[in-house]
């Protein structure tokens, strides 16, 4: 993972560090524990208001400070390299030329009520200059193909958000395989290339077998969601040779407004500041099912305006981000004797960066 992340000309990867990173991803993003499975078994019998009450009660006791993760291990070999060689480390910058960080706005559509609000939400994103991704549950509510077509015509992306959204996708291999077949059928029909697991429940082994270009089912770290934990990084990474993971790095709207009962976008802005120091990926989930209640739409608009005011933020769809990450990975950095040059599919868009330019920001982000 270290070599894929830094894309430098120097050989800085170490098998030990790579194994530690992999363990962190597995531990934080592993399969739903027996407690979660039991909860989803009982869930239909628990009134919705009681579910919210229980989640609020649990969230109150949780430390919500940002959890520093894999980035600490990623910069370790770089610091060692600089110290031992006396040279700076050049690498292919994380994002296309001109951008310091990237963002994706995604919408998981949970119900028929949410589906009816899809185009209204798309219009709000469009008004602020964003093209987002809408993730649909294949067989839970009626899906009007006209809406899918209109979204695609307007350059929004369509993703798959499970088959039923009943918490049972990873309950057994048999269920997963059956549902995977159904999801693949809808993906072909909608030309969808990405997946988000319902309720961000996850089984890392199953997710690694997905046939999609991108997956976005792992929070970087979220203790308040239905499946606590996360993959501990705010950067994309290769979940498998086929699939790029786009971690969900912002707390979802439902958690912010419903569980934590926040009234503004302070949580999002704080996290944005952290991700911005590292130059990572801002990945937000907003549901058309809940965002139109109370004053939430105003808060969402304000946050979109905040994003729009950042002039070196690359706003893209998940598919564009995952394709870029793959092109960058397939490219290499060569020392020409007169400096470094990028070769490969990212050559036209990539730029060369140096560790010394980001070291201070990284240190501040990881130590503060
Ligand atoms: Zn969902």
Percent pLDDT > 70 in the chain is 94
Exposure string for 243-270, b = 16+ CB within 10 A, e = fewer: bbbbbbbbbbbbbbbbbbebeebebbee
pLDDT at 296: 96
Q: Which 8-state DSSP code applies to residue 49? A: H
Ligand 1 centre and the CA of 137: distance in Å? 8
Ligand 1 centroid – CA 337 distance (Å):
52
Residue 259: strand, helix, or coil? helix
Confidence of residue 298 (pLDDT cuts 50, 70, 90): very high
What span, in angstroms and rounded, lies between the C-alpha atoms of 218 and 229? 8
Question: What integer pLDDT is reported at residue 125 of this predicted model?
Answer: 98
Q: What is the residue-wise DSSP string for 166-211?
A: SS-TTS-HHHHHHHHHHHHHHHHHHT--EE--GGG---HHHHHT--
Average pLDDT, the chain: 92
> How far does the centroid of ligand 1 lie from the alpha carbon of residue 336, in Å?
49
Share of the chain above pLDDT 90, in %: 77
pLDDT at 192: 98
The predicted model gives 279-295 an average pLDDT of 96
Closest to 276 measured CA to CA, from 244, 253, 309: 309
Contact 214/244 with Cβ under 8 angstroms? yes
User: What pLDDT is recorded for position 356?
Assistant: 96
Q: What is the Rg, in whole angstroms, of the alpha carbon atoms belonging to the chain?
A: 20
SS3 21: helix
Distance 95 CA to ligand 1 centre (A): 28
Nearest-CA neighbor of 333 among 5, 7, 11, 85? 7
One-letter-per-residue 3-state SS of 103-157: EEEEEEECCHHHHHCHHHHHHHHHHCCCCCEEEECCCCCCCCHHHHHHHHHCCCE
pLDDT of 248 over the 50 cut: yes
Region 7-16 average pLDDT: 89
CA of 165 to the centre of ligand 1 (A): 7
pLDDT (average), residues 204-220? 95
Q: What is the pLDDT of residues 105-164, one digit of tens each?
A: 999 999 999 999 999 999 999 999 999 999 999 999 999 999 999 999 999 999 999 999
Does position 101 have pLDDT exceeding 70, yes or no?
yes
> Closest Cα partner for 26 from 193, 205, 248?
205
| 72 Cα: distance to centroid of ligand 1 (angstroms) | 31
pLDDT at site 29 = 53
Contact (CB, 8 A) for 130 and 316 = no
Q: How confident is the model at residue 23 (pLDDT cuts 50, 70, 90)?
A: confident
Query: What is the 309 CA–ligand 1 centroid distance (Å)?
Result: 29
Residue 161 CA to ligand 1 center (angstroms) comes to 7
Whole-number Å distance between alpha carbons of 242 and 219: 20
Please tell me the distance between residue 214's alpha carbon and the centre of ligand 1 in angstroms.
17
Q: Distance between the two ends of the chain, CA-based, in angstroms? A: 25
Average pLDDT over residues 175-191: 98
The whole-angstrom distance between residue 4's C-alpha and the CA centroid of its chain comes to 18
For residue 77, the surrounding DSSP H or E stretch is: helix 70-85
Short-list 211, 166, 219, 170, CA closest to 192: 211
**Angle between the 118-127 and 145-153 helix axes, to the nearest 10 degrees?**
10
Smallest Cα–Cα separation from 99: which of 241, 227, 275, 225? Answer: 275
Query: Is residue 346 within 8 Å of 330, Cβ to Cβ?
Result: yes
Q: What is the pLDDT of residue 31?
A: 46
pLDDT tens digits, residue range 31-52?
A: 445 555 555 555 666 677 777 7
More confident residue, 135 or 27: 135
């Amino acid at each position: 993972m270290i070599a894929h992340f830094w894309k430098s000309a120097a050989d800085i990867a170490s098998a030990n560090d790579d194994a530690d990173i992999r363990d962190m991803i597995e531990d934080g993003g592993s399969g739903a524990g027996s407690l979660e499975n039991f909860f989803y078994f009982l869930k239909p019998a628990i009134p919705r208001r009681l579910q919210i009450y229980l989640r609020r009660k649990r969230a109150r006791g949780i430390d919500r400070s940002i959890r520093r993760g894999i980035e600490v291990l990623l910069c370790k070999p770089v610091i060692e390299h600089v110290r031992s060689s006396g040279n700076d480390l050049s690498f292919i910058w994380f994002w296309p030329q001109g951008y310091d960080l990237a963002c994706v706005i995604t919408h998981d559509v949970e119900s028929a009520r949410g589906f009816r609000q899809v185009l209204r939400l798309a219009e709000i994103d469009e008004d602020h200059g964003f093209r987002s991704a809408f993730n649909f549950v294949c067989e839970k509510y009626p899906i009007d193909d006209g809406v899918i077509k209109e979204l695609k015509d307007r350059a929004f992306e369509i993703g798959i958000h499970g088959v039923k959204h009943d918490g049972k996708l990873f309950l057994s291999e048999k269920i997963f395989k059956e549902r995977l077949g159904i999801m693949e059928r809808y993906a072909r029909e909608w030309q969808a290339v990405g997946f988000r697991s319902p309720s961000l429940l996850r089984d890392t082994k199953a997710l690694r077998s997905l046939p999609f270009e991108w997956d976005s089912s792992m929070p970087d770290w979220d203790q308040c969601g239905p499946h606590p934990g996360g993959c501990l990084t705010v950067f994309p990474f290769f979940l498998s040779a086929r699939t790029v993971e786009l971690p969900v790095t912002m707390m979802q709207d439902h958690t912010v407004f419903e569980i934590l009962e926040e009234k503004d976008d302070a949580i999002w802005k704080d996290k944005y500041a952290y991700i911005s120091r590292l130059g990572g990926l801002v990945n937000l989930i907003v549901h058309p099912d809940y965002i139109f209640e109370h004053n939430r739409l105003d808060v969402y608009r304000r946050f979109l305006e905040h994003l729009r005011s950042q002039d070196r933020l690359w706003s893209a769809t998940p598919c564009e981000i995952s394709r870029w990450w793959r092109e960058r990975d397939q490219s290499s950095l060569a020392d020409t004797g007169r400096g470094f040059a990028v070769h490969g599919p990212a050559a036209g868009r990539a730029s060369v960066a140096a560790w010394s330019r980001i070291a201070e920001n990284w240190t501040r982000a990881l130590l503060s």
